[in-house]
A and B are shown apart, each in its own frame.
Chain A
Amino acid sequence: MEEILLHLAGGLSQAMEPLNFMMIILGCALGLLIGAMPGLGSVNGVAILLPITFLVPPTSAIIFLAAIYYGAMYGGAISSITLGIPGASTAVATVFDGRPLAQTGHADKALTAAAVASFIGGTISVVLFTLFAPPLATFALKFGPAEEFSLMLLAFATFIGLGGDDIPKTIFSILVGLVLAAVGLDIISGQPRLVFGDIDGFLHGINFLVLAIGIYGIGEMLWTLESTQGEVVVHKVKMSLSQLKSNLKDVKTYIGTTSLGSVLGYFVGTLPAAGATPASLMAYGLAKTFSKDPDSFGKGNVAGVAAPEAANNAASTGSMLPMITLGIPGSPTTAILLGGMIIWGLRPGPLLFTENPEFVWGLIGSLYIANFATLVINIAFIPLFVKVLTIPFTILAPIIYILCVVGGYAPTQTMHDVWLMLLFGVVGYLLRKLNYPVAPAVLAIVLGPLAERSLRQSLLSSQGEMSIFITRPISAVCILIAIGLVSYPLVKKFKKKASETAS
């Protein structure tokens, strides 16, 4: 414990260094703006802005991107409340009570509750993160290639079992991501693979950013343009110091369920397929169940805003736990962060704690500061963020497209990748319209090279015996859980059928 506190103190002082502190403030403010804009969430912001981070050292870069992630979780509530459109899917549950509050002229109350609850969620989850990360990383040091591969299988299985999407389409999405990651030179023999039409551009492989920016930049904008064709009404927000004081007095009415939602959100966030959206919905359900007045939910109960906001913030921190300790991202945003770490020359996984402690603890320290900074920026600039929401899409869209095009070009500096990015964006949009989930593909393209390497290393060491994955205890446990997760939807279906025939 003492060691953790010492490392944490070092991390906090690193996060307070002028450049890093500036990155936190900038990241939080940008994240708030991005999160507040309908259709844009943390994943879009992080994907589009990742190429810009080559400007600063890796620690400052991850601090900046993590702050965007954090800020976007706060910001999602702003459009949920004032527009009635979730800024990101993670803020869907916030609309249920946030919108009715805004319609009755209490937008300030809802926004304050969202900000305070996000802070509570963030604080609880960061403390949990600090406590859980070092022991988990120490445990993960025992992992060999077989365990690594089984763990990745487990991550993919969570998408199938808990994702809630069409199962064959989810599997297709995972496999597409893995195949795209296999394009280029074979990691072991060096032979060119899947070089279509002998186009040289495929020889250097497909950078994960090309798919991520395509899907979350261009594809998402096309999706948003389609879904927000109608007029949106922005509710006015008036916020004075006296109103803020009186709103803060409400905290005691929702602190209990908010804290519970935070713990729940953190643990749900650590699961790759679950993440912030189900966490916030579950926290909303929990708050309603434990409320003395459950009928008021959906009609403008402040606790209905606070619980999901606390949970989605906690989940965002939770999703960083497997990314930092195991090298397995807990959400699409952390998948992109993980890809970024590889670009910066770092090796994600348990060794980060021993090889790059300043990087890990700097990030953890920054989360504490980002949490507080976002609360202050959020409350101080709510009217400004609301004003930003009125920017027409015809101004926002071309700027985002330009950032996508330039951001897609920057990592490899070939137009081939930019064309691919556009193709992925359009195809991703068309597939999404048919309920193909796109997040598993992004996770898979990041994990693809790591998964293939660990599979081939395992098979080489076992002389082709697949039993290596079930004879090693940790690997066997992962495989068993993965099988359980994959069969879970089938069991659920059979149970439902059985109960239907019984009744």
Chain B
Amino acid sequence: MTVRTAEILMAILCALCSIGLMMKSAELKIGWVPERGPGSGAWPFWLSGGMLLASIATIYRWFRGVTPESRNIQPYMTRETVVVVGISAGSIVFLLIATHLVGIYIALFFFLLFYLKFVGRHSWQLTVSMVVLVPIAVFCLFEWALKIPLPKSISEPLFYPIYDLMYSF
């Protein structure tokens, strides 16, 4: 897909999202409510209307070839970019799904293992030390210092002894 095609597709998508937002906002009152001022939906409705107009302006400018992107026939994403960006975005998706399933610490273990060993091709020594130390650092900073419990899912019972130890101090 060229940059030119991507720009028009994105502008159409933005226009459709704007219409969707206008419809969603219109589920609430968008006019004047006596003694209460503008209805709850008025602000997002008119803002979405503005988004729609801005998207239509982009579409119009695309047809007239005003924007540099509308004249650019280079690929929007090269194969190399798709691979690099895809691996990164995909690995974060994996991290989040795994966090839901087995908790963040086990997810972090596999995420780091994948990224450092299979993407970065780093030594086992570096990989193992990072895989162990980073989750410990995250635990100490967030759970111990900031008192923000991170999602642990089914791995929660594994942390009971650590909590006992933590709160015994």
Contacts and interface: CB of A to CB of B under 8 A. Distances in A.
Interface of A: 51-52, 54-55, 166-169, 171-172, 175-176, 178-179, 182, 186, 188-189, 191, 193-194, 196, 218, 221-222, 225-226, 229, 392, 394-395, 397-399, 401-402, 405-406, 409-410, 413, 415, 418-419, 422, 426, 429-431, 433-436, 452, 455-456, 459-460, 464
A422 B88 contact: no
Report the contact-size class of chain B (Cβ under 8 Å from the partner). Answer: 35 or more
Contacts of B81: 226, 229
Which of B25, B58, B134 has the most chain A CB atoms closer than 10 A to its own CB?
B58
B150 interface: yes
A317 B151 CA distance: 38
A434 B6 contact: yes
B93 A193 contact: no
B150 A409 contact: yes
A434 B9 CA distance: 11
Contacts of A175: 47-48, 50-51, 54
A401 B120 contact: no
A409 B141 CA distance: 14
Contacts of A51: 146
Which 10 interchain pairs have the tightest Cβ spacing? A394-B120, A168-B57, A172-B54, A186-B40, A460-B37, A398-B115, A182-B44, A171-B54, A168-B54, A191-B40
10 contacts: A172-B14, A175-B47, A179-B48, A193-B28, A394-B122, A395-B122, A401-B91, A405-B96, A409-B151, A455-B38
Given A402-B138, A415-B96, A460-B36, 14 more contacts: A55-B146, A179-B21, A179-B48, A182-B47, A186-B40, A188-B37, A221-B88, A229-B84, A402-B108, A406-B150, A426-B89, A429-B85, A433-B3, A459-B38
Contacts of A433: 3, 6, 76-77
Interface string B61-98: 10000011100000011001100110011011101100
Contacts of A401: 88, 91-92, 95, 111
Contacts of A422: 89, 92-93, 96
Interface in B34-56: 36-38, 40-41, 43-44, 47-48, 50-51, 54-55
Contacts of A229: 80-81, 84
A409 B38 CA distance: 34
Which of A168, A218, A429, A430 has the most chain B CB atoms closer than 10 A to its own CB?
A168
B96 A176 contact: no
Contacts of A398: 91, 111-112, 115-116
B32 interface: yes
Interface string B1-37: 0010011001000100000010011001000100011
B58 A169 contact: yes
B36 to A, nearest CB: 7
Nearest to B87: A225
A405 B92 contact: yes
B69 A172 contact: no
Given A188-B36, A229-B80, A194 B44 contact: yes
B151 A415 contact: yes
Which of B134, B142, B149 has the most chain A CB atoms closer than 10 A to its own CB?
B142
A56 B130 CA distance: 27
A320 to B, nearest CB: 26
